[in-house]
Structure 1
Amino acid sequence: MADVKDVFIEIGTEELPPKALLTLSKAFSDGIVAGFNDASLQAKEVIPYAAPRRLAVLLKDMPTRQADQLVERRGPAIKAAFDDEGNPSRAAQGFAGSCGVDVADLERMQTDKGEWLVFKKEVKGKATQELVADIVSKSLSALPIPKRMRWGASDIEFVRPVHWIVMMLGNETVDAEVMGIKAGNETRGHRFHHPEKIPLSHPADYAKLLKETGYVIADYAERREMVRQQAEAAAKAVGGVAHIDNNLLDEVTALIEWPIAVSGSFDKEFLDIPQECLISSMQDHQKYFPVVDSSGALLPYFITIANIDSKNPDAVRQGNERVIRPRFSDAAFFWQQDGKVTLESRREATKKIFFQQKLGTLFEKTERVAELSQAIAKQLGANTSDAYRAATLSKCDLMSDMVGEFAELQGIMGRYYAQRDGETAEVADAMQQQYQPAFADDVIPASMTGKILSLADRLDTLLGIFAIGLKPTGSKDPYALRRAAIGVLRILIEGELSLDLKALLTIAAKGLSNKVDASAAVDDTYAFIMERLRAYYKDKKIAGDVVDAVASVNPSRPLDFNQRVKAVTQFRELDAAEPLAAANKRIGNILKKAKGTIPDAVDTSVLVEDAEKTLYQTILKQSETVSPLFADAKYTEALSSLADLRADVDNFFDSVMVMADDEALKNNRLALLQQMRNLFLHVADLSRLQ
């Protein structure tokens, strides 16, 4: 059994970017593991560590050296390696030279394709200790760091200055340099509580030693859970519940090494301000956890996570309370000032802000969106006045002082201002809902006006950007068009809006006509949006071939597309699904190869075999049954009924020669098969099912 030891690597730095810490940790750990894998070395367990001033990884039970390997290179065939007199050819000599040996030292290998020259050599495996430094260096250089920095007089670059490096194999220090720093076995503790060096005798002691001696919780997940529990306990102590945003929890965890929760309070008079303003200020600017009651209403408390265990926690509390007061005072001032004018009165200011240079100002965009919203509302039988009004006011809150200071409150403040101005609930709610869904797991708008506005706004953006030639390329998507497209599909599907997407884009093109000829971009934009359905259904664990089957018949209403996907998904669970899918594929191939024009109708006088007569009668009956089901988009019921064709289809192919010598007979049978295939094509192309 190979000798194994723990490998430990730590890169000690200045404070790393908190929002990038987890990404850097994973990339570093993955790079180290990949490096050892490439060297044919695998650890039994890999444990990454990540804290503000360190990236580390522990690899348990790593073999202490590579296994010896037999290197084998195949050269030219014997026929090409020697002439008729047995003298080596240039090919043989060149191959031997590239291997560093004479032709006489090469061996022969017999295969089923002939005999070949072959070079074999046993390569001794290297000691793991010799490989560590190079693996670490390559992993560090491959980290996803957009902008690296230099420090001191060195040319070495990294995301932050590096101060120490630990590299160990078992209880031995790896004798090597990385990033110009000699590796050692000494880590560092907390910047303030224990800045001294901490000798590490064995890799497995690292996390425990730092925790008990160095005031550092090196394990990210453990530290994150400590932050969460402490925040919840502190909030409970003041009679509330900690409002914990997961992104903020991650960021706070990446900012501290030794979490200590401290509760603070603020004047109750600030609660007169919309609570989203206060929560935004606490979370985004101060990294505090707000405290709410059981109903979600904000309480006059907050929880901050200190990075030191202060001997005077009251001083920490009071310092944070002093910091939050002026920010809340600013929010109160903005709320009061913004209330002096109506949301509508801010429309004039949107004429000075460009949405996009070629597509005009925000004012012009809202005018287009208003017309499109009104058209959509009319198609849906919704309130056209609310839809138009919501669209015209949709970007006005961007001109307010509050949103100017807290950009993340766009839409939210629009709702508050619309309510204060006396707008209808539908219009007010749409101000906020226009931005939904904002991310992958976000909800779609709840109100009909919100759905309409969100849809119209996205369609105008998508078509407009495509029309001016700025569609996404590769990973670049500066206008977030992929996210906008997914939003369009989710609103149409999950919002159960039976709207023709291509028709909507055609209407949107008319609105853009005074800026750009968008009609030429309708097809590309439509294809781009519909292509996102593959990602949408992949997230829902729907088989790709089901999506392909439906996409093949190109339904232009995403809601209708979804109903077909559900129907085909259920259909493929039936016993008849596989043979009927195979039959559709066979029929499709036959029809493709057929020469000449296939008749539209079957001539019953040319039906000869009992099997084709029976199939024809069954198709007629099925057509009568499923036609009204297709009209009502009851695709599941229709496919369930069409499954009854299985026996007659099987019998037809067993008994009937489709490509008969008699031209009339052949064409009539092709028409029969085409008629049957067309029944299924009302839903999907089942031949695409695997």
Structure 2
Amino acid sequence: MKYNFLLEIGTEELPSKILCDISEKLTNRIILKFKEKNIIFKKKKIFASPRRLGIQLTELYYLHKKKFNTGPSTEYALNKNGTLNSIAYAWIKKYNLKKKQIIYIKNKKKIFLSYKLKKIKIQILIKKIIKKILSKFYLIKLMKWGHCKERFIRPVKNIILLLNKNIIKLNIFQINTKREIYGNPYIYNKKITINNPAEYTEKILKLGQVINNFKKRRNKIKNDIINIVNKIEGKVKIKKNILNEITSLVEWPKICLAKFKKKFIRIPKEFVIHILENFQKCIPIYNQLKKLTKYFIFISNIQPKNMHFITAGNQKVINARLNDANFFYKNDLKKIFEKNYFKLKNIIFHKKIGNLLEKTKRLQILIITISKKNMINIKYAIRSAYLSKCDLLTQIVTEFPEMKGIAGMYYAKKNKEKKEIYTAIKEHYKPCFSNDNLPKNNLSSILSIVDKIDNLTGMFIINKQPKGKNDLFGLRRITIGIIKIIIQNKIKINLNKIVKTNINLYTPKKKNKKKKIHENILKFIENKVLEYYIKLGYKKNIVYFILLQNSIKNLLFINKIIINTHDFLNYKHKNSIIKIYKRINNFLKKNENIKNKNINIKLIHHKEEKKILYLTTKIKKKIKILLKQKKIKAIKQLLIFKKPINIFFKKITINKKNTYKKNNRILLIYNIKKIFLKIINFNLFI
């Protein structure tokens, strides 16, 4: 029999920033457990709104599996005429089987004796699964309320659990499952009876005034915003995270147009956008020239008769926040920005490792070495590190902490600093979640790297490194950021050296302890490098082996090897090339390996030797150019050696009495090996 299944958990308002994550985790766990218990379904619908989580499964049924026991061979269990003999009947008696349950497979000369599992009551099975999942739902910090023993993300008010027309009776969170749900609390806060899962979506939409499907609600909000903005000939940049958060705050969205006072356009646009998007969850509107206008969009969860009253209230709040920002901004401009530097000693970086002035001094020392390697103006580099934390003492950042970096950029610009310097101040805080979040220029990248390395080093020195799932200081995220910046922006840096220097800049420790901290930090970075490449789709065992063979100090070199290896593994003629290298390598193991002498052309007489020499010289030049382009082009060149190498080993004798000729021929082969290893470490495959 096939069923329709419905679960809805009615709660107090769920956290908007993680609503999608909560819904996804809950759904995935239910589906996974159902599959484990042989509960199959055809379609699923997921529901998520501020006050409800739900899932609907259609054509759900329990898959009864047959259990098989292997019987005796047909040679012994069947008579000559094909009927069962006494041996077969002994098996039948042992498993208490009926004749219909016996399956003959003569071609394999075996009899399989089968019997069905006992029928399972699907209602009881679902009840156990749902109770277990809800009572042990680990995702974020859970809440406890009243006298309820179980915990959940927010207090639970109502649970509906239906299988077709029947309620699956369950008591959890001191609540009994029912068939009644509640609609939008601001529009229709009454009970709605659900007779079967099929009518759920229509009833909650028409009666309850709730669009319970997250994607449909989000698409409606997005389309309505675009329609309103088009009417006033404006433009919008709808950020995915802001749109998701707005969608998570409303159940019956009403899109409204409002405006703030025109004078606030003079405030740096980042301040205005931040207040609109992050504080009030509004969408700023731009003109056709992509400049910020006084108009913005806000989303209401109700549709009152007097919308003007709601709009006026939102405008009042926005104007008040922008007025504060304007006041702080003007006050900050009255002060000399760089004078905040010495006041940084009053801000504690961490009580065990000092203040922000000490941190800034470390950054100035660390940035010099990396800047030299990357051809950065040293004066600009030191100056950017000097000013990097000065905005933390401004009034605007004190009120709006998320404005750090952006505020520093504006104040440094007003202070007539160079563009490279104020850009680096802005960008060094970038979180590096994706390639779009990375610093854009080299100075910004280097300042970001040294800032993150100093955070990482400091936490390891005071033994605050991540343990298990705990990562209070976000060191895993910081390290992935360092790796991304180095690789994506091609920053030359010796991680081994910079970490060692950083450790020495902190309070002096015992040598043994310093060495241990240094090893632990590099090992931690190495693990994150492995994780980084696995997430990009590279093979774990290959990346792991490359990291074992190479020092972590040069990430650009490691990146080059990993990409080359990945390209090679996807090349259709890879096995032929590996075979060539194996033959060369095996030969050189058995013969002397003369590395430091040049080939004597006068000793080359055979056409096979001449061919090898000609190809080696020709490919050396080609590969230098090709390695700067796509590496696979260089790899393809190696196939040229396939035929000449085979002929060479077949016709040329190495072990001549003439030592000079012998060494010359060994050098010919050794030079080919060097070409192979320039492109990729073929020792990975032998």
TM-score by structure 1 length? 0.82
Asked if 1:322 corresponds to 2:316, the answer is: yes
Contact 1:419 1:425 (C-alpha < 8 Å) held by counterparts = yes
| Alpha carbons 2:162, 2:168 under 8 Å: kept | yes
Are 2:256 and 1:262 aligned? yes
1:563-618: CA deviations, max 9, x gaps? 44444455556665322224545766888xx799966579999x999999689757
Check if 1:187 corresponds to 2:181.
yes
For 2:340, which of 338, 346, 355 is the aligned residue?
Answer: 346
Q: Is the 8 A contact 2:526 2:552 kept in 1?
A: no
Cα 1:105–1:278, aligned 2, differ >3 Å: closer, same or farther? same
SS in 2 for 1:345: helix
Cα deviation, residue 535, structure 1: 4.0
1:252 is matched with: 246
CA drift of 1:391 comes to 0.4
Once residues 653 and 460 of structure 2 are traced to their aligned partners in structure 1, the CA distance between those partners, rounded to angstroms, is: 51
Match of 1:387 in 2: 381
Shift of the 31–244 alpha-carbon distance from structure 1 to 2, 3 Å rule, reads: same
- Contact 1:266–1:300 (CA<8 Å) still a contact in 2? yes
The equivalent of 2:108 in structure 1 is none
- Unpaired runs of 5+ residues, structure 1, are 75-101, 108-117
Give the match's secondary structure for 2:385.
helix
Distance 1:273 1:611, change over 3 A: same
**Partner AA of 2:278 in structure 1:** D
Q: Relative to structure 2, which stretch is displaced further, 126-135 or 65-74?
A: 65-74
Of 12, 18, 24, the match for 1:20: 18
Query: Quick one: structure 1 residues 72 and 239, their matched pair in 2 at CA, closer, same or farther if it must change by over 3 Å?
Result: same
Deviation at 1:163, TM superposition (A): 2.2
Structure 1 range deviating more: 33-42 or 610-619: 610-619
Q: Deviations over 1:533-560 (max 9, x none)?
A: 4444445445556646754355853334
2:211 corresponds in structure 1 to 217
| Post-superposition offset of 1:254 | 1.4
Out of 25, 31, 34, the residue aligned to residue 32 of structure 2 is 34
Q: Does residue 1:427 correspond to 2:421, yes or no?
A: yes
- State how 1:168-317 maps to structure 2 within 5 Å: 168-317=162-311
The question of 1:685 aligning with 2:678 is answered no
Question: Is 1:66–1:125's contact at 8 Å kept on the other side of the alignment?
Answer: no
Query: Which runs of structure 2 are paired with 1:574-593 in the superposition (5 Å)?
Result: 576-584=573-581
Alignment of 1:379-458 (within 5 A): 379-458=373-452
Per-residue Cα deviation, 1:131-161 (whole angstroms, up to 9, x for no partner): 2221211221232343333334443432222
User: What CA distance in whole angstroms lies between the structure 1 residues aligned with 2:614 and 2:551?
Assistant: 27
Structure 2 contact 373–492 (Cα < 8 Å) conserved = no
CA contact (8 A) 2:184 2:209 kept: yes
| Cα contact 1:355–1:361 (8 A) shared by 2 | yes
Q: Which amino acid aligns with 2:21?
A: T
**Amino acid in structure 2 at the alignment position of 1:11:** I
In 1, Cα distance between equivalents of 2:282 and 2:598: 79
Q: Deviations over 1:359-380 (max 9, x none)?
A: 4321111112112222322233
1:49 Cα offset (Å): 0.8
Partner of 2:491: 497
For residue 449 of structure 1, report the CA deviation from its aligned partner.
Answer: 2.3
Decide whether the 8 Å contact of 2:182 with 2:208 is kept in 1.
yes
| Secondary structure at 2:436 match in 1 | coil
Query: Does the CA contact (< 8 Å) of 1:553 and 1:684 recur in 2?
Result: no
Seen in structure 2, the aligned counterparts of structure 1 residues 613 and 447 have a Cα distance that, compared at 3 Å, is closer
Deviations 1:334-393 (A, max 9, x none): 112211212211112211223234443211111121122223222333211111101000
Tell me the CA shift for residue 301 of structure 1: 2.2
| Compared CA separation, residues 468 and 689, structure 1 to 2 (3 A) | farther
Report the equivalent of 1:644. Answer: 640
Structure 1 pair 655/47, CA: closer, same or farther in 2 (3 Å)? farther
Does the 8 Å contact 1:351/1:363 carry over to 2? yes
Q: Following the alignment from structure 1 to structure 2, what is the Cα–Cα distance between the partners of residues 408 and 590? A: 63
Q: Residue by residue, what CA displacement relative to the aligned partner does 1:212-257 show, whole Å, maximum 9, x if unpaired?
A: 1110111111111122222333334444333422222112211111
User: In structure 1, what is the equivalent of residue 156 of structure 2?
Assistant: 162
Query: Mean alpha-carbon deviation: is it higher for 476-485 or for 516-525?
Result: 516-525
What residue in structure 2 maps to residue 99 of structure 1?
Answer: none
8 Å Cα contact 2:612-2:645 kept in structure 1: no
Tell me, in whole angstroms, the C-alpha distance in 2 between the residues paired with 1:51 and 1:277.
30
Higher alpha-carbon deviation: 635-644 or 445-454: 635-644
Q: Deviations over 1:421-470 (max 9, x none)?
A: 11111111111011235322434322332223122223333344445544
**Mapped partners of 2:163, 2:118: distance in 1:** 20
User: For the structure 1 residues 532 and 177, does the alpha-carbon distance in structure 2 shift closer, same or farther, using more than 3 Å as the test?
Assistant: closer
CA pair 379-68 structure 1, distance change in 2 beyond 3 A: closer
Match for residue 96 of structure 1? none
CA contact (8 A) 1:260 1:307 kept: yes
Q: How does 1:53-92 map to 2 (within 5 A)?
A: 53-63=51-61, 65-67=62-64, 69-70=66-67
Secondary structure of the residue aligned to 1:148 is: coil
The 3 A distance-change label for structure 1 pair 465 and 155 is: closer
1:129 to partner: Cα distance: 2.2
Deviation at 1:263, TM superposition (A): 1.9
How many angstroms apart in 2 are the aligned matches of 1:141 and 1:610?
Answer: 81
Deviations 1:624-653 (CA, angstroms, capped at 9, x unpaired): 657967998996675454442223444567
Separation in 2 of the partners of 1:256 and 1:213?
16
Q: 1:180 to 1:334 in 2, by over 3 A?
A: same
Secondary structure of 1:368's aligned partner: helix
1:349-364 matches, cutoff 5 A: 349-364=343-358
Any residues of structure 2 matched to 1:93-108 within 5 Å, and which? none
Q: What amino acid does structure 2 have at the position aligned with 1:646?
A: K
Contact 1:8 1:166 in 2 (8 A): yes
Give the aligned partner of residue 104 of structure 2.
none
Alignment of 1:356-375 (within 5 A): 356-375=350-369
In the other structure, the counterpart of 1:45 is 43
1:4 aligns to 2:7 (yes or no): no
Which deviations, in whole Å up to 9, do the C-alpha atoms of 1:158-204 show, x marking residues without a partner? 22222222122222333443443332222221113211111223212
**1:442 is paired with a residue of what secondary structure?**
helix
Percent identity of the aligned residues? 28
In the TM superposition, what is the alpha-carbon distance from 1:394 to its structure 2 partner?
0.2
* Cα drift, residue 211 of structure 1: 0.9
Q: Residues of 1 paired with 2:626 and 2:533: CA distance?
A: 23
Does the 8 Å CA contact 1:609/1:656 hold for their aligned counterparts? no
Q: Secondary structure at the match of 1:157?
A: coil
In structure 1, distance between residues paired with 2:379 and 2:254: 54
Counterparts in 2 of 1:674 and 1:11: CA distance versus 1, 3 Å: same
Which stretch shows the higher mean deviation, 262-271 or 390-399? 262-271
- C-alpha separation in 1, matches of 2:116 and 2:569: 54
- What SS is found at the alignment partner of 1:167? strand
Whole-angstrom distance in 2 between the partners of 1:318 and 1:177: 46
Superposed CA RMSD in Å reads: 4.3
- In the alignment, structure 2 segments of 5+ residues that lack a partner are 72-92, 99-111
